[in-house]
Structure 1
Amino acid sequence: MKILLANKFYYPRGGDCIYTLNVESLLKNKGHEVAIFAMQHPENLPSTYQHYFPSETTFSLFTSLLESFQRPLGSKEVIQKFNYLVDDFQPDIVHLNNIHSQLSPVIAKIAYQRGIKVVWTLHDYKLLCPRYDCLRNGYTPCEQCFSDKIKVIKNRCMKNSLPASFLSYLEAIKWTKEKLEKYTTTFIAPSRFISAKMIQGGFDAGKIVILNNFIDIKKTEYEPFQKEDYYAYVGRLSIEKGINTLVKTAQQLPYKLKIAGTGPLWTDLKKNVSPENIEWLGHQSWPEIKELVGKARFTIIPSEWYENNPLSALESLCLGTPVLGANIGGIPELIEEEKNGMLFDSKNENDLKDKIEIMFSKEFDYQSIAKESCKRYAAEHYYTEIMKIYQQ
């Protein structure tokens, strides 16, 4: 088959990008032809198709007003370059990922109009929430826009800015649920939670298939499961990830916490939080993460937003390392209490503190966790299921 993968960025920037790269690799290894459509960016990986990529847009103070207005609604450049790529590549499937704003759903419309099947993997809640994360102003869980998109303006949800929120409102009413459903053959929901939210927001349940994300389990081969006396956080250092709650709680405990990752809170956290039991590792490559997570007693996902199907949890479990996760979003679907981890109430420092202490006192069957997780999240299983979706 010939599959065209579309995502805003073409480098390992976040979970959506890593997923796109993993799908590309998986499909190519199985003998399929794969093309890429993304926005130009200095960190993009080399691609045969990069001359089709539309120019970079950042929505910053330096971005022209016209460009900021046009891109989310479907710019001439995106339309032209996507049509060129479709003409030259002639895909059987257009598989969308995170495309809003920088690319826009105009590419779904083009594919539909040209009779090409559209599959869309849902990495966040952008089809329901103009902000994408169901957090009002980035702090408070909110679902008001599921039924009334004007709330994004009233609450100034985008950067607490009226112009930015107004643009997001225009984007939402341009690309309505009815249009997106019409253009898309199948939505892939990586968790039951996001599937339920899509249905709650009025999307047709018959168009949604639940399929967990996957990883290359060969890269998680790690024995003999010898653990050291610390726990670890791997991920973005930002408010919605719950890193402030974690750090505040960790300072009250004697256990060693190793934190890998960067983000908007990196500078402030390093400057203002420096107890001996917290180690800041910054950005880490996969071999370093593998070593860090493989030797940890457990990893922690303290999210305060509707986390979908976090790859960091899948990687941890496939390495045989239990997960202590916030009871929010799709995280509970990954954790069997006291078998491969535990849950705590999101934002609840006291419950988090108690559960960290319990996790350090518990014994887990690390080899069993790795074996069962590798079976569940293997690329081979994903390939079988994704081909059913492509071919249905």
Structure 2
Amino acid sequence: MKILLANKFYYRRGGDCIYMLNLEKLLKAYGHEVAVFAMDYPENLDTPWKKYFPKDMSKLMAFTRPFGDGEVKSKFSQLLNDFKPDVVHLNNIHTQLSPLIAKLAHEYGAKVVWTLHDSKLVCPCYTCMRDGKWCEECFTDKLAVVKHRCMPGSIPGAIVGYLEAKKWNCNILPKYVDLFLPPSKFMMDTCVKGGYSPEKFRVLCNFIDVTRLPPISQIPLIKGDYYAFLGRVSEMKGVRTLCKAAAQLNKKLIVIGGGELLPELKDTYRNCPHIEFKGQMQWEEFMPILQKAKFMVLSSECSENNPLTVIEAQSLGTPVLGANIGGIPELIEEGVSGMTFTSGDVEDLKDKILKMFEHHFDYEAIAKNAIERYSSEAYYEKLMKIYEKSF
């Protein structure tokens, strides 16, 4: 089968990019021909398909490309004609590439599926969050993004977000997409609330490349006397709240990741012996730390979709303490593979951290169940049924 993968970036920038790179590897391992389409960006991995990539988006292009500019149209059309895909699998394409490519792929005659890594289909600013709280106002009134100036760039950015949402709406996009593939039921329900038909959705949880995992026999039966955070050090990830809680406990927290809050938090807690900031690390560097951690904490204060960090931790036999928000609770079996706490609540977080240290978890069983649930092989079988089915 010939499969064309599209995502705005082509390097390990975030969960959407990691997913697409892993999917490319998986599909090739099963003998499929795979092409990629992305924006020409300095950090991109090298690929023979880069000649088809539209150039990096300038500030001026931010006012035109979300609606589908001439370069995106011509280069993507050329790629369709040259590669002749059976399936076009979209990922994060808004703004830098635009949903125009869904329309072009559909008109070409390819099957079109779209993995949803965020709530952009129903929220112009991707998150359904405003002033730190869940917001559904744009579900019924797209002008709310202008009224509240939710987009970067204040009024100009908000106007572009409004016009983009009006152009690529719940009445238009389903005409060009055979199936939307949200990795969580939460994301599907969010889109349905925003006006999409549930018949156009199939929940397909993210996967992990099990070849990158150490053997289950190497899972430590006795974990280290610390817990870990893995992810972007930002307000949305709740790291400020986490550090407030950690500073009040006599338990070591290792924070793995970079982000805009890192310099501030390192300075604030420079004399706190319970918090260690590791900064940005690659898989080979943080994997042993995560595997030996008593548990991982995901302190998000935004409604995450299907966070890969939870899947990675559990696949290493490490239980997860996750914020009870978005799709996170779908990944955690209370008391078996972890626990949940009230997002943004320092006191509840402190209480659950202590309970996680006291609770007995079967680390080997956590790893086995996670690998069975999230393995690339299981994912591939489900994805092939979707690719091959007629709609």
What TM-score range do you get, normalising by the shorter chain?
over 0.9
Of 156, 168, 171, the match for 1:178? 171
Trace 1:78-89 onto structure 2 (pairs within 5 A).
78-89=72-83
What CA distance in whole angstroms lies between the structure 2 residues aligned with 1:270 and 1:52?
42
- Secondary structure of the 1:49 match is helix
Trace 1:1-392 onto structure 2 (pairs within 5 A).
1-57=1-57, 63-64=59-60, 67-136=61-130, 139-159=132-152, 161-222=154-215, 223-225=218-220, 226-274=222-270, 275-392=272-389
What's the Cα RMSD here? Answer: 1.0
What CA distance in whole angstroms lies between the structure 2 residues aligned with 1:224 and 1:35?
37
Question: Shift of the alpha carbon at 1:318?
Answer: 0.5
Unaligned runs of 5+ residues in structure 2 are none
- Higher deviation after alignment, 239-248 or 159-168: 159-168
- Secondary structure of the 1:259 match is strand
- Secondary structure of the 2:27 match is helix
> Which AA in structure 1 matches 2:114?
W
Distance 1:102 1:389, change over 3 A: same
Distance 1:91 1:81, change over 3 A: same
8 Å Cα contact 2:251/2:274 also seen in 1:
yes
> Which AA in structure 2 matches 1:369?
I
1:302-355 deviation digits (Å, cap 9, x = unpaired): 111111110000000000000000000011111111111000011111100100
Distance 1:270 1:161, change over 3 A: same
- Higher deviation after alignment, 22-31 or 211-220: 211-220
8 Å Cα contact 2:87/2:111 also seen in 1:
yes
1:36-93 deviation digits (Å, cap 9, x = unpaired): 00001111011110011000115xxxx23xx221111101111011011111100001
- Secondary structure of the 2:18 match is helix
TM superposition outliers: structure 1 runs of 4+ over 3 Å: none
What CA distance in whole angstroms lies between the structure 1 residues aligned with 2:295 and 2:177?
39
What CA distance in whole angstroms lies between the structure 2 residues aligned with 1:143 and 1:314?
28
Could you tell me the TM-score, scaled by structure 2's length?
Answer: 0.97
8 Å Cα contact 2:80/2:108 also seen in 1:
no
Question: Shift of the alpha carbon at 1:160?
Answer: 6.7
Could you tell me the TM-score, scaled by structure 1's length?
Answer: 0.97
Question: Shift of the alpha carbon at 1:126?
Answer: 0.1
Question: Shift of the alpha carbon at 1:140?
Answer: 2.2
Question: Shift of the alpha carbon at 1:6?
Answer: 0.2
8 Å Cα contact 2:4/2:34 also seen in 1:
yes
What CA distance in whole angstroms lies between the structure 2 residues aligned with 1:220 and 1:378?
11
8 Å Cα contact 2:231/2:258 also seen in 1:
yes
What CA distance in whole angstroms lies between the structure 1 residues aligned with 2:370 and 2:267?
37
- Secondary structure of the 1:120 match is strand
Identity %: 52
What CA distance in whole angstroms lies between the structure 2 residues aligned with 1:292 and 1:134?
33
What CA distance in whole angstroms lies between the structure 1 residues aligned with 2:138 and 2:214?
43
1:145-195 deviation digits (Å, cap 9, x = unpaired): 111111000011113711111111111111111111111000001011111
